Amino acid sequence: MHPLVEDARELLIHQANQQGISIIITDGFRSVDEQNAIYKKGRETDGNIVTYAKGGESYHNYGLAIDFALQPSQNNVIWDLEYDGNQNGQSDWMEVVEIAKLLGFSWGGDFTRFSDYPHLQMDFGLSITELKWGKRPEDVTD
């Protein structure tokens, strides 16, 4: 994982907790092979389509993305956008998204091609094409 994304991930968990929301990070860095394997889901193997990105085409492949879910209790992980566990009249999911955006993440739920609600990424201004050609956030920041 990119160190800045790692820091933001920890802050996200902490700040969500402060609002009475427990989250779990279900995914972070993915190798190109792992990405190709999940790309096959719903296409060559059973299940629903979970991604439109082949290996090398996801920000996960560059350590720049995480996926989250709500974890109201130890053995209960949910992907429920309506759930209001802290009972403040707002969707916990959207509260987490709001915190994430303040930390600099963009949210997969805003993607027009494929709404990916658990997905948060930091692109540091780099497109997937640039990343594929070897550009890295470090090149931009220093």
The footprint of Zn ion (CB under 5 A) covers 65, 67, 119
The least CB distance from residue 29 to Zn ion, in Å, is 11
Nearer to Zn ion, 27 or 84 (CB): 27
Cα–Cα distance, 91 to 19 (Å, whole number): 12
Nearer to Zn ion, 22 or 35 (CB): 35
The least CB distance from residue 103 to Zn ion, in Å, is 16
Residue 42 main-chain phi, psi, to 5 deg: 80, -5
Task: Report CA-CA distances (Å) from 117 to 111, 112, 120.
Answer: 9, 12, 8
The least CB distance from residue 87 to Zn ion, in Å, is 28
The least CB distance from residue 83 to Zn ion, in Å, is 20
Nearer to Zn ion, 2 or 119 (CB): 119
Closest of 19, 24, 27, 13 to residue 92, by C-alpha: 19
Helix (H) or strand (E) holding 5: helix 3-18
Closest-CB residue for Zn ion? 119
Nearer to Zn ion, 9 or 119 (CB): 119
Cα–Cα distance, 28 to 90 (Å, whole number): 27
